[in-house]
Structure formats: structure tokens, C-alpha cells
């Protein structure tokens, strides 16, 4: 698989016109794009359909669903038959929420892979201490628990920072099962060296993340604002 086939381009901080301009210029260089909360709230399901059909791209719908099981199930039902390749839910919603999400997706989004979000890549050591009173070693242990939960529920994949990929690799070896691994927090080397990383904290270059076992990489402004490619 080519590196560009692994890139999921985040269409963040863009309006509809800017999205279409980018997709026209990129000329199908990238197979998958991410529509997050901002664009989905602004333009809705019809925009998902338009982008998929007009530009032939797969859709990563990054809604990070997190609520009581029944509410998440009904939220997925409301997306019925949307052309979505990946949909995100929070692993911290717990086993029952994940199980009900998977069950509803079988009926409403049968061609969609559910991905469990672990910890946001915008969280750093200070945030983990402030929110959870976690030490660094406890962050790793808690992530390991979240990944085991993903394995137990048979969710299709996980969204994780590049720093947790080594933990996943070890867990997968122990259990003998692999999940799809989608990694945000990806920046070009020169951006990292110049500390031009926006709101991301736990980051890596594309090459580093692939080497550590990532299947897909989420990149946004690094590509969309500078029209940079590989």
C-alpha cells in the first residue's frame, strides 16, 4: 500500500468551498478524508454523500460518540445508509455502549468500521495529571486497559496517538489478534523540529508511525493549508 493510501486527510478548519477546492486540486491523491464535528454540524449528512459521490473518496466520520448506550445506538441509527467507511466512538463509554454501538451498526451501517477513540492527542502529561491525577506509568496502564476492552468487544479498530503504538503491538502479540490502528498527531519532521504542531501534544512523523505499526495516519492542516504531499 502506498503511503498516500494510508493518509486520512482531515477537512478541519475549512468551509464547503475550501473543501471542494482542495479535493479538486489534490486530484484523488488521497483515498480517504475525515469529516469531523465542525463540518458535520455545519453541513450535515448531505455533505457526506456529496463528497463521497462527487470525488470518489472514502469517508472517516469522526463524531467521537460518547453517551449512554441507548443514545449512542440511536445516534448511529440516525446515520443509516450514509456512505461511511469509518465512524468513531469513545472507548471510555464502556463495554455496554460499545456493544450496542456495534449491534446497531450491523443494521444501519453494515459497511462501516467502528473505531474506538482512546485518549485525545491534544492531551499531554499535565492534562492527564490535572484531569485523572495520572502519573505517566498510569497513563500507559489505562490505555492498555482501553485497548483490551476494544479487543473484548470486537470493535474493528482504535484511534490512538503514535506514542501508544508500542503498547498495542505488545497486546496484539499476547492475544494473537489485530485491530485497525488509526493514528492522529502526525506532523512532518520540519514541523516538529520548529514546534509547529498546533494543538497536538503526542506526535510523530508519518514514517515513525508507520514503522511502529499504524495502518492509517490522520493529517489535516499540514496537507490542506500548504498543499504539501509525499
Measured distance CA(48)–CA(84) in Å, rounded: 8
| Grid cell for residue 141 | 496502564
The alpha helices in 56-157, defined as continuous H runs, are: 69-77, 95-108, 125-132, 136-153
What is the signed CA dihedral for 99, 202, 38, 18, rounded to 10 degrees? -130
Catalytic annotation present for 64: yes
In this structure, are residues 206 and 3 in contact, taking their beta carbons and an 8 Å threshold? yes
Of 36, 229, 208, 9, nearest to 117 by C-alpha is 36
Residue 21: CB atoms within 10 Å: 13
Nearest to 121, CA basis, from 183, 214, 171: 183
Q: Are 31 and 58 in contact (CB under 8 A)?
A: yes
Q: Cell 485518549 appears where?
A: 119
Active-site residue identified among 31, 34, 49, 64: 64
In degrees, to the nearest 5, what angle opens at C-alpha 171 toward C-alphas 170 and 172?
A: 90
- Residues involved in catalysis: 64
Amino acid at each position: 500500500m502506498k503511503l498516500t493510501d494510508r493518509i486520512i486527510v482531515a477537512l478541519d478548519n475549512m468551509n464547503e468551498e475550501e473543501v471542494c477546492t482542495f479535493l479538486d486540486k489534490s486530484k484523488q491523491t488521497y483515498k480517504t478524508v475525515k469529516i469531523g464535528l465542525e463540518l458535520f454540524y455545519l453541513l450535515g449528512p448531505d455533505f457526506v454523500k456529496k463528497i463521497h459521490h462527487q470525488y470518489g473518496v472514502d469517508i472517516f466520520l469522526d463524531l467521537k460518540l460518547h453517551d449512554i448506550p441507548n443514545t449512542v445506538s440511536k445516534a448511529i441509527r440516525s446515520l443509516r445508509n450514509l456512505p461511511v467507511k469509518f465512524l468513531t466512538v469513545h472507548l471510555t463509554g464502556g463495554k455496554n455502549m460499545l456493544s450496542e454501538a456495534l449491534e446497531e451498526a450491523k443494521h444501519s451501517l453494515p459497511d462501516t468500521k467502528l473505531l474506538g477513540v482512546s485518549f485525545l492527542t491534544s492531551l499531554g502529561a499535565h492534562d492527564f495529571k490535572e484531569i485523572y491525577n495520572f502519573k505517566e506509568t498510569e497513563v500507559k496502564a489505562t490505555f492498555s486497559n482501553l485497548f483490551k476492552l476494544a479487543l473484548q468487544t470486537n470493535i474493528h479498530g482504535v484511534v490512538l496517538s503514535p506514542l501508544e503504538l508500542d503498547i498495542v503491538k505488545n497486546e496484539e502479540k499476547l492475544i494473537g489478534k489485530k485491530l485497525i490502528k488509526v493514528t492522529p498527531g502526525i506532523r512532518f519532521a520540519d514541523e516538529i523540529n520548529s514546534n509547529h504542531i498546533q494543538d497536538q501534544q503526542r506526535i510523530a512523523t508519518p514514517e515513525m508511525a508507520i514503522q511502529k505499526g499504524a495502518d492509517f495516519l490522520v493529517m489535516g492542516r499540514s496537507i490542506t493549508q500548504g498543499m504539501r504531499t509525499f
